[in-house]
Amino acid sequence: MLRFLLGRLGLLIPTFIGVTLVAFSFIRLLPGDPLDLLAGERGISDERKAELMAQMGFDKPLWQQYIDYVLGVFQGDLGTSFASKKPVLDEFMTLFPATAELALCAIILAVCIGIPAGIFAAVKRGSVADQAIMGTALVGYSMPIFWWGLLLIILFSGILQWTPVSGRISLMYFFPSVTGFMLIDSLLSGEKGAFASAVSHLVLPSIVLATIPLAVIARQTRSAMLEVLGEDYVRTARAKGLPPRSVIGLHALRNALIPVITTIGLQVGVLLAGAILTETIFSWPGIGKWLVDSISRRDYFVVQGGLLMIAGIIMLVNLIVDVLYGLINPRIRHN
Amino acid sequence: MNFQKTLKATLLGASLAVIAATGASAKTLVYCSEGSPEGFDTALYTAGTTFDASSKPLYNRLVEFKRGTTEVLPGLAESWEVSEDGLEYTFNLRKGVKFHTTDFFTPTRDFNADDVVFSFDRQLKKDHAWHEYTPGTAWEYFNGMSMPDLIKEIVKVDDYTVKFVLNRPEAPMIANLAMDFASVLSAEYAAQLEAAGTKEQLNQQPVGTGPFKFVGYQKDAVIRYGAHADYWNGKEAIDNLIFAITPDAAVRLQKLKAGECHVMPYPAPADIADIKADSNLTLLEQQGLNVGYLAYNTKVAPFDKKEVRKALNHAINKQAILDAVFQGSGQAAKNPIPPTMWSYNDAIEDDDYNPELAKEMLAAAGVSDLSMKVWAMPVQRPYNPNARRMAEVIQADFAEVGVNVEIVSYEWGEYLSRSKDVDRDGAVLLGWTGDNGDPDNFLAVLLGCDGVGGSNRAQWCNDDFQALIEKAKAVTDKAERTKLYEEAQVVFKEEAPWATIAHSVVFMPMSSKVTGYVMDPLGGHWFDGVDIAE
């Protein structure tokens, strides 16, 4: 197991180098620069631009800028945002809990509904229920997120007034951030009604963000289950008279879950990288929108630092999935 | 059903909590702003969203724009004198003005000349301790308005008198000092931060003399302000001001309808009719202080001939553009300055839409089988909500007179940069929003000879026009300046370096409970003087 783990960790080194290179070069390959965008229609003189580029270190050769960046990363310094003038790492740490909280709620929702739905569809293969579940999953998968979010807001917040329109908590609550996770902070604040407010603000964005992963997980679970249900050991289990619940729950599901876990892991990675559309619709202060805004402003340090952090998180999640996979399926570990 | 009732009661209670909070104890006004401020030290930035959150609620300037106008009134300066030669501006400062007392700063003295000198010197002097206090400090507005060339020095005459010495006479100087970058900060607070080694906090935890004081900012989510109890112009009627950052226009409207905010900017044009029909909402509208235009490159043939430019102007159907692009939120432009600006020459007749005349004029100019490029901006701007669509309408109009148009576009930064090239190929769609309400801010910046290769996208340098605007800049008498600018507009219309397209109309929806809100012709959002009816 240790060798397996070390092998996986070893793979992270070239991945890290690749990510720093891609993050560094990606934003510089885009046409336009932050100063042209800052000056807008007014424009900026070439001399003034050169002066400011030198002030920010952008006049150095690219290789030197890259080395400065990597050395900074090793010292925990991702640079300073050109727009906000704040350290990139501070901004990331401020915004990431909002993204993580939403992503976790969404993935829990997707797993709790997606896996049972997939199992049910597989067991009732070809039935109306199967068709309905798979049809719904296809619709969910194809749904334009912006439209879907707005539709839910108009229905549940506008017409029915069951949920707030957007934000993380009602504006009447104002307490210092301890963990950055609003559910936890609202409990810690001790303010009456704060937790309920935080939960109510999470409902719609979680549903919207969970829609696609839910569909993916349901479809993946169904196909994995169908494959496993046709295996000899399942037939044997049935033949020896085990009740259907045990056959499905103990024998089939455990094996079917292996590819599903990979799918869930990938989805967690995607969601933690920030959900730009969901964050925009629900005014959710997360890293997705922050990063996209920074790209449009050519805020070099935010983009390269933010991408690196996100890539790091995805690598970490994938590592955890790999390890879990190895634990569940010894063949992987030994190969 | 019980669950539904409980859920509804709990969630509705939470979502409408703000309204509850506006009871007898404290009045809270919630503004659903369209974006996040980049920071709170106004002079570092150029974006209106940042100004709305910083300079407007938090700071004052020596002079202020009168609410809803571009007229300049005394602010932190009670009065001022200009020397005969127009080179010295002496400001007599207001006494008894208090800076905000906050959790992070308690002022020990009132506002005085040191604060004014600090606020400007840090932008002007490269050796000032605060000139590069945070990475990438550009002072871009100050530089963009040519202040470093203009201001020779700022002298503290005594505690309540400050003198600005200029290198040349500049009639718009007073209007410039009402702009956001001219906000006055506390020198005492800066000294406290410098001593603590936390200079960057000046941009994160602001202190000013404005109607509201800073309470807190949750990044990309909420900004909170409290009324400044000792405000020199009297405490505001609302106790708390909250900016709920809501980037999507449709969601802003839903929040407004649900009572989660009281005021929202920038509604989607498609929602205007719906807002007008809602009895709980009020819709204010005002002509924007802007102009959208198509700038020919007057340095490149055949656009160097004014007859060709004039002919093409006659080929453009502005009404079709207003219908297709502005959807009721624009008006046709005939001058390079908007009608709400002083010195607007209403006597000028626009080039009417007349394709036959355009064909004749092109033939007379010896132009046939003309092919040209029209540049369409990749972004939405107040003066042009959809440049691609606008370019398509112009393409169809020009095709009617036998001119073949290729539409080109670039990434926004690239577009701005490339469109400045003197030998640029093609006519550029662009526009301008006024900074200070002075005609010089349009005519000199966009059409002056100094702007060729820069903000003058027509690359147009006309001696008569230049002489008029230079003279207008040097005299201080407004009536005389008006006359000169009116003449300059006549020259502009005859020479036609641009096709003037449109001025936009800006809408501002709000709860009908909101009173006293006045729209700013310069596009800012101000909450002093605003109240909420009980």
* pLDDT at position A183 over 60: yes
Give residue B519's Cα distance to chain centre: 13
* pLDDT at position A16 over 80: yes
Judging contacts by C-beta atoms under 8 Å, the chain B residues touching residue A35 are 138
pLDDT band at A333 (very low <50, low <70, confident <90, very high): low
Q: What is the identity of the amino acid at B128?
A: H
Length, in residues, of chain A: 335
> CA–CA distance from B162 to each of B89, B93, B121, B154, B156 (Å)?
8, 8, 12, 7, 5
Closest-CA distance of chain A to residue B358, Å: 30
Q: What are the φ and ψ backbone dihedral angles of A278, each rounded to 5 degrees?
A: -65, -40
Length, in residues, of chain B: 534
Please say whether the dihedral angle defined by the alpha carbons of residues A87, A89, A90 and A95, taken in this order, is positive or negative: positive
User: For strand B371-375 and strand B404-408, is the pairing parallel, antiparallel, or unpaired?
Assistant: parallel
Q: Which of A85, A177, A196 sits opposite B200 (nearest CB)?
A: A85
Give, as one character, the DSSP assignment of residue B181: G
pLDDT tens digits for range B104-131: 999 999 999 999 999 999 999 999 999 9
At B67, list the tokens.
Answer: 């609410």
pLDDT tens digits for range A184-230: 999 999 999 999 999 999 999 999 999 999 999 999 999 999 998 88
Closest-CA distance of chain B to residue A271, Å: 19
* Contacts within 8 Å (CB) and 24+ apart, B300-305: B300/B423, B300/B424, B300/B425, B302/B365, B302/B367, B302/B370, B303/B372, B303/B427, B305/B365, B305/B367
| Nearest residue to B122 via CA among B209, B185, B29 | B185
Give, as one character, the DSSP assignment of residue A285: -
Give residue A271's Cα distance to chain centre: 2
Inspect the interface and report whether the beta carbons of A177 and B218 lie closer than 8 Å: yes
Inspect the interface and report whether the beta carbons of A31 and B413 lie closer than 8 Å: yes
SS3 B272: helix
Q: Would you tell me the crossing angle of helices A88-123 and A128-142 to the nearest 10 degrees?
A: 160
pLDDT band at A334 (very low <50, low <70, confident <90, very high): low
* pLDDT at position A274 over 90: no
At B46, list the tokens.
Answer: 């150029």
Inspect the interface and report whether the beta carbons of B258 and A289 lie closer than 8 Å: no
Give, as one character, the DSSP assignment of residue A156: I
Are B89 and B154 in contact by the 8 Å Cβ rule? The answer is no
* pLDDT at position A273 over 90: no
Give, as one character, the DSSP assignment of residue A226: H
Judging contacts by C-beta atoms under 8 Å, the chain B residues touching residue A173 are 17
Could you identify the residue written with the tokens 């210092």? A176
H-helix or E-strand spanning residue A260: helix A253-272
Instruction: Say whether residue A35 is in contact with chain B using an 8 A CB cutoff.
Output: yes
Inspect the interface and report whether the beta carbons of B220 and A165 lie closer than 8 Å: no
The interface predicted TM-score (ipTM) is: 0.87
User: For strand B427-433 and strand B371-375, is the pairing parallel, antiparallel, or unpaired?
Assistant: parallel
SS3 B195: helix
How many CA atoms lie within 13 Å of B108's alpha carbon, on the beta-carbon side? 5
At B276, list the tokens.
Answer: 């007008």
Instruction: Say whether residue A195 is in contact with chain B using an 8 A CB cutoff.
Output: no
How far is Cα B377 from Cα A309, in angstroms, rounded to an integer? Answer: 33
Q: Which of B11, B143, B410 sits opposite A31 (nearest CB)?
A: B410
How far is Cα B221 from Cα A167, in angstroms, rounded to an integer? Answer: 7
Please say whether the dihedral angle defined by the alpha carbons of residues A273, A276, A282 and A285, taken in this order, is positive or negative: positive
How far is Cα A27 from Cα B478, in angstroms, rounded to an integer? Answer: 49
Mean pLDDT of the residues in chain B: 92
Q: What is the pLDDT of residue A66?
A: 92
How far is Cα A233 from Cα A251, in angstroms, rounded to an integer? Answer: 8
pLDDT tens digits for range B434-483: 888 899 999 999 999 988 988 899 999 999 999 999 999 888 888 999 99
H-helix or E-strand spanning residue B437: none
Q: What is the pLDDT of residue B17?
A: 42
Are A268 and A317 in contact by the 8 Å Cβ rule? The answer is yes
- Residue-level pLDDT, tens digit, chain B, 534 residues: 344 444 444 444 444 444 444 444 689 999 999 999 999 999 999 888 999 999 999 999 999 999 998 889 999 999 999 999 999 999 999 999 999 999 999 999 999 999 999 999 999 999 999 998 987 788 888 988 889 999 999 999 999 999 999 999 999 999 999 999 999 999 999 999 999 999 999 999 999 999 999 999 999 999 999 999 999 999 999 999 999 999 999 999 999 999 999 999 999 888 999 999 999 999 999 988 999 999 999 999 999 999 999 999 999 999 999 999 988 789 999 999 999 899 999 999 999 999 999 999 999 999 999 999 999 998 888 899 899 999 999 999 999 999 999 999 988 888 988 899 999 999 999 999 988 889 999 999 999 998 898 889 999 999 999 999 999 988 888 899 999 999 999 999 999 999 999 999 999 999 999 999 999 999 899 999 999 997
Q: Which of A85, A197, A280 sits opposite B248 (nearest CB)?
A: A280
Instruction: Say whether residue A283 is in contact with chain B using an 8 A CB cutoff.
Output: yes
How far is Cα B426 from Cα B408, in angstroms, rounded to an integer? Answer: 9
**Cis before B302 (ω within 30):** yes
Whole-model pTM: value is: 0.88
Q: What is the pLDDT of residue B476?
A: 82
| Nearest residue to B423 via CA among B449, B387, B457 | B457
Which residues, at least 6 apart from A142, have a Cβ–Cβ distance to it below 8 Å? none
Q: What is the pLDDT of residue A121?
A: 94
Q: What is the pLDDT of residue A37?
A: 80
